[in-house]
Amino acid sequence: MNEKYLDKYLNYYTGENRKAMYVLFAKLVDALRSDELDVFDEILTEDCIAEYSTVGKAVGIEAIKKMLKWPGPECNVKKSTIWSFVARSNKEGFGQQSAYIQSIMAIDDGVNIFPFTFGGVYCNSYVKTEKGWRISHIRFDLCYGDDNNGFVMGKWNLISPDLYSGHVPVIVSELDNPWTVIPEDCEPQSDVEQIFELQFKKTFGFDRGDFNLPLSVATEDMWQFTEEPGKRNYVNFLKYKQHKEPNMEHANRMGSCVITGDTAIAWMPRGEEHRLRDKVYTRENIHSMVTTEAHKIYAKKIDGVWKLYKIQAGFEPVEKMRFIPMEDDIVSFDEYIIGGDCDDSCFIG
């Protein structure tokens, strides 16, 4: 795993449990990206359960390795990045974690690039063992698979628009999301972590059809794309959007956050790697972090708890943000953490 930014992420996350779970998940994502699965011996419990909507269920490390081996052609471009990471734990040594991933497996033939883009959502369980934290249950639902999906056709279950959630879902948010599984996190969070997580919690519930999550982080006068503010209009708008697609992945990066007293404004870029607006992948720009739009979120602290009171979306990135050069083996790229530019000058609208 490329550890270029690892220290910055470990400095950002508060709590030793959260740091440990981030490292384990980053190693899982990188192992699948590189198709080097022996690291599973170090990050999974012996009796780990893995459930993937793409390939099925396996129990035990060796069976999981066999199931998750890359089934497609040899690719010389391999990318996978973590978005919207959340991890919570309790004093009994149990942890629950969610995140989105976006991946590209591509063939560069020296003239053209042939990418397969796919993304999905994880909801994993962790236990603290004598050897430290380990992943005990992996749950993954595919959210999209586009472009050269012939790479895995007949080997993966891809999205079917005729089925709810695009396929028979592995993850049921009401049972699996980190906030429900662990209502009281045993570790504190910084104000900035709490503010970014408002959006992560909102979009997780929005995308999975669990609307109590976006309601739980909203003020009574919450506004997003409605004529009148208020929770009723807000959640009705989200339901309208969610019902139009078989599956959604509103993945966000942590761009910037400015706190002024009990209010905050944060930029949270999105990069829909399978929908590049007016661009296509080339041999050059595929080695980048993609930005296709951004959310601007507004939060305020009420009785010591941060809540969302407004979200603006639809901002287009300026040219320098469209494709930000990035090594293929970087698995996390959040401007707030690594020091990249992300402010009003980076977006239009």
pLDDT tens-digit map of 176-185:
999 999 999 9
pLDDT band at 165 (very low <50, low <70, confident <90, very high): confident
Burial of 25 (0-12, 13-18, 19+ CB in 10 A): buried
- Compute how many other C-beta atoms are within 10 angstroms of the C-beta atom of residue 303: 5
**Is pLDDT at 45 greater than 90 in this prediction?**
yes
**Is pLDDT at 313 greater than 80 in this prediction?**
yes
CA distance 138 to 151: 24
Q: Which pLDDT score, from 0 to 100, does residue 349 have?
A: 85
Dihedral sign for Cα 162, 166, 170, 175, please: negative
Residues 6+ apart with CB under 8 A from 169: 53, 141
Q: Is 170 helix (H, G, I), strand (E, B) or coil?
A: coil
Structural tokens at position 40: 């599973």
Q: 305 to each of 14, 122, 182, 229, 268, how far by Cα in Å? A: 17, 26, 18, 20, 20
Place of tokens 């990249």: 340
Asked if residues 84 and 76 have their Cβ atoms less than 8 Å apart, the reply is no
CA distance 86 to 267: 18
**Is pLDDT at 119 greater than 90 in this prediction?**
yes
Phi, psi for residue 347 in degrees, rounded to 5: -140, 155
Position with higher pLDDT, 167 vs 290: 290
Mean pLDDT across 161-178: 88
Question: For the chain, what is the radius of gyration of the CA atoms?
Answer: 19
Q: Which pLDDT score, from 0 to 100, does residue 256 have?
A: 98
